[in-house]
Structure 1
Amino acid sequence: MENLNIALIQADLAWESTKKNLKQFEEKITATNAEVDLFILPEMFSTGFSMNAEKLAEPKNGSTLKWMQRLANEKNAAVTGSVIVKEDNNYFNRLYFVFPDKTFKKYDKRHTFTLAKEHETYTAGTKRLIVEYKGWKICPLVCYDLRFPVWARNTVDYDLLIYVANWPKTRIKAWDVLLQARAIENMAYCAGVNRTGLDGNKYQYTGHSAVYDSLGNPLFDQETEAEFTKVVTLNKNHLNETRKKLKFLQDRDKFTLG
């Protein structure tokens, strides 16, 4: 597929209220009339970035996943975002990538955010996920993963790198710069979806959801705190031609993670 239409949904999150969050995201997804292949939601989109996992966690095939499956099927588009999941007595900040036919892939956040003591509640993932969808290779990651370029390193020629996040206002400059850097160094499209608003711990979020092309060019004006649904078209031919002309990925260092 030459083009991939992705919809970034930047929204305020109701603190620890799955019902309210699923309602608002369903309204936003349903109201999107443009042709969309993939809807991207923020990190922990059903609850906000909470350490209250014992109260909020869902089983591995829980109601939020079923909600994602239903909407993906109804809209004939994939849906991705992360939720709090309990499996085998461990809690995970788990990203689901749900296909239109209701099948799904999962990725557990590799880098738990020690500054917020996320590592004391959630178990870190160990495997990266590469999704193949409509002729595109997609690498979905979660928030704090953005600070670790080796984890995102493009050794498999993926086409699109995704970060879903709850990234606070105090460090938003890092979000802006690192998203652009990941696009440039991996010669891939890079999309980041962040939340807005104030969470239950009084942390402020200012959005800045963005998409960059493989040369680091922004595909829309992203510096806004407002809620929005933005549909962006990614062009596979443009990506391939850029990589063919600028063979930077071929010069990458040869090493693997231990």
Structure 2
Amino acid sequence: MAQILNTALLQANLEWENIQHNKDLFEKKIKELPQETDLIILPEMFSTGFSMNAENLAEPDKGATFKWMQRMASVKDAAVTGSLIISDEGKFYNRLYFVFPDGSSQKYDKRHTFTLAKEDETYASGKERLIVTYKGWRICPLVCYDLRFPVWARNTEDYDLLIYVANWPAARIRAWDILLKARAIENMSYCIGLNRVGRDGSDLNYVGHSAVYDSLGKQISNNQEEGEFVELVALDKQHLTDTRSQLKFLQDRDRFTVHLE
């Protein structure tokens, strides 16, 4: 079990619908990461930007960009996660992959498709949440709009780390900042939000604000830039264990069952 999880946040300016350019961009950044990196986090739809042009951009499940993720995971001996536009059995998905260093993987399909952008008209909604076990850490990866729905993120499995990969626009960045901190506090978990920067093909502006919060809502990441950056943040399992032992708030949580439509 790893007491320290060295997590790399890659906040980048995505080039609109240019898969090869974006993979090249991230490959350069990934290869420059220190060798002690354990987990590499990429944005939502990191190869294309947040596009509804799924018919022209979708890749098959475990297609070329997924294989690129496997290669990056192998090169750095680290897990890699981020979401892609995927076509699977006649439907399109905003699918997050969590790729382990050995090339194995798990997937999560975004549950809450963003109706304001009509994402729900293009992409099918996921039905299952994912809890990943990696280096002794239990990790719950979610995608962008999922952040607004606390029931879906509720820590009923005693996970240690909640991750949101996103294309969250500047116009609503205050909500992003507040909700990330809230999710960390209410779930007594580390919470990471990884957003993009720059403008997309819909002329939406993104200012990043990628951040890491501990289980009490304290921001432990240091980079405040609204442009591109790479930051390595060390998560401490013992700190989390000690906090939960002292403050047993999770023991008082409500018990409930989520019924999906």
So what's the TM-score if we normalise by structure 2? 0.98
Partner of 2:147: 146
Partner of 1:202: 203
Aligned partner of 1:54: which letter?
Answer: E
**Which digits, 9 at most, give the CA deviation of each residue in 1:190-232, with x for residues without a partner?**
0000000000110000000000000000002353212111000
**In 2, are the aligned partners of 1:80 and 1:95 still within 8 Å (CA)?**
yes
Partner of 2:75: 74
**In 1, are the aligned partners of 2:35 and 2:76 still within 8 Å (CA)?**
no
Aligned partner of 2:141: which letter?
Answer: P
Partner Cα distance (1:138, 1:184) in 2: 16
1:56 matched to 2:61? The reply is: no
Partner Cα distance (2:222, 2:113) in 1: 30
Q: CA deviation at 1:84?
A: 0.3
Aligned partner of 1:128: which letter?
Answer: R
Aligned partner of 1:143: which letter?
Answer: C
Partner of 1:249: 250
Aligned partner of 1:64: which letter?
Answer: T
Partner of 1:214, secondary structure, is coil
**In 2, are the aligned partners of 1:112 and 1:122 still within 8 Å (CA)?**
yes
Unaligned stretches of 5+ residues in structure 2:
none
**In 2, are the aligned partners of 1:15 and 1:199 still within 8 Å (CA)?**
yes
Aligned partner of 2:42: which letter?
Answer: L
Aligned partner of 2:115: which letter?
Answer: T
Aligned partner of 2:134: which letter?
Answer: Y
1:23-34 to structure 2, matched below 5 A, reads: 23-33=24-34
Partner Cα distance (1:61, 1:6) in 2: 24
Partner of 1:190: 191
Partner of 2:82, secondary structure, is strand
1:211-226 to structure 2, matched below 5 A, reads: 211-226=212-227
Identity over the aligned pairs, expressed in percent? 66
Q: CA deviation at 1:34?
A: 5.1
Partner Cα distance (2:69, 2:223) in 1: 26
RMSD: 0.7
**In 1, are the aligned partners of 2:223 and 2:231 still within 8 Å (CA)?**
no
Partner of 2:13, secondary structure, is coil
Aligned partner of 2:197: which letter?
Answer: T
Aligned partner of 2:32: which letter?
Answer: A
Partner of 1:32, secondary structure, is coil
Partner of 1:16: 17
Partner of 1:45: 46
Unaligned stretches of 5+ residues in structure 1:
none
Partner Cα distance (2:21, 2:136) in 1: 35
Partner of 1:88: 89
Partner of 1:179, secondary structure, is helix
Partner Cα distance (2:231, 2:222) in 1: 10
Partner of 1:174: 175
**In 1, are the aligned partners of 2:15 and 2:49 still within 8 Å (CA)?**
yes
Partner Cα distance (1:254, 1:191) in 2: 25
**In 1, are the aligned partners of 2:180 and 2:193 still within 8 Å (CA)?**
yes
**In 2, are the aligned partners of 1:3 and 1:234 still within 8 Å (CA)?**
yes
Aligned partner of 1:86: which letter?
Answer: S
Partner Cα distance (1:155, 1:209) in 2: 25
